[in-house]
Amino acid sequence: MKSLHGKVIIVTGASRGIGRAASVQLASLGARVVVTDYGNETAIQSVASEIAATGGEALAVLADTRNQEQMEQLADAVKNAFGRIDVLICHSNAGAHASTFAELAWERFEQQLTVELKSAFVTTKAVIPTMVAQQFGRIIYLSSTEGKDPTPQHIAFGTAKGGLDAFARYIAQEFGPCGITANIVAPGFVRDHEPMMISEEEGRVIGSFTPLGRIAEPEDVAEVITFLASDAARFLTGTYTPVTGGLVME
């Protein structure tokens, strides 16, 4: 893995789980990491402190990824602090509303779509001008295998993630000529990952019929994110990577 020394990376949904693990791992490779989330300043400050305690550099900023003004202010703050934005890890960190289609109201369905798609749209809008000016950028969208592999009663969440997958490919196509890549990481079951929260016993059962024998840890997903953020992935764009231990295969 090539060093990420000096790269400026924004991680949304960084307060826990995959976002936290990715922030810590990216910083350990020399990146300057901006950790952000909505409504949990104590948690993102904790992530930044953890990074600083091991000699890394981090900036904690509270922002709502669905709010255009807040995300533009975040992008401006990052540019003022570090001079550039190299990588965006776009992770909504939102839960999944469980419901059958028969019971599902449009308002709840629309809410899930907004959480995923507006977050991706607004956050990408905020960083793209800087990346275009640099003629360089890496965007990594955190999706879910539920976008392709339906789970009962997760129609809203799965549909939103499927839309996110399509959105990422369009960003990859449009901005490839500007030196910007966009790729999708799609975890399945991950320990302590809120959209798919399961008990320890459920984790053991799922792990028993997963080819690699267990469900993922947040660090497993963070490793894939780190690879896609690095120069080793410079010729990859528009890709979809399921991180499931073989439970879902492409």
Tell me 168's DSSP state.
H
Q: What is the dihedral of CA 228, 232, 234, 239, to 10 degrees?
A: -40
Task: Using alpha carbons, list the distances in angstroms from residue 91 to 19, 158, 202.
Answer: 7, 15, 25
The two tokens of residue 240 are: 């979809």
Q: Sheet of 32-37: strands edge to edge?
A: 57-62, 32-37, 8-12, 87-90, 137-142, 180-187, 240-243
The number of residues making up the chain comes to 250
pLDDT reported for residue 81:
93
Q: Are 33 and 58 in contact (CB under 8 A)?
A: yes
In a domain, 1, yes or no: no
Torsion angle, alpha carbons of 111, 115, 117, 119, to 10: 150
Strand 240-243 and strand 180-187: the pairing is: parallel
Does the residue 2 lie in any domain?
A: no
33, 129, 38, 25: which is closest to 82 by C-alpha?
Answer: 33
**Between the CA atoms of 234, 239, 245 and 247, what dihedral angle is there, to the nearest 10 degrees?**
-170
The verdict on residue 232 lying in a domain is yes
- 121: which 2 tokens? 């749209």
Q: Can you give the pLDDT at residue 98?
A: 87
Question: So what's the pLDDT on residue 160?
Answer: 95
The predicted structure's pLDDT at residue 124: 98
CATH, residue 35:
3.40.50.720
Q: What range does the domain containing 27 cover?
A: 8-243
Q: Report yes or no on 228 lying in a domain.
A: yes
- How many CB atoms sit inside 10 A of residue 99's CB? 17
Structure tokens at 96: 């999944």
Residue 84 belongs to a domain: yes
Q: What is the mean pLDDT of each run of 10 residues along the chain (250 residues)?
A: 86 94 96 93 95 95 95 96 97 80 95 93 98 98 92 92 97 98 94 66 86 93 97 97 91
pLDDT at 179: 98
Asked if residue 250 is part of any domain, the answer here is: no
Query: Based on the structure, what is the number of domains in the chain?
Result: 1
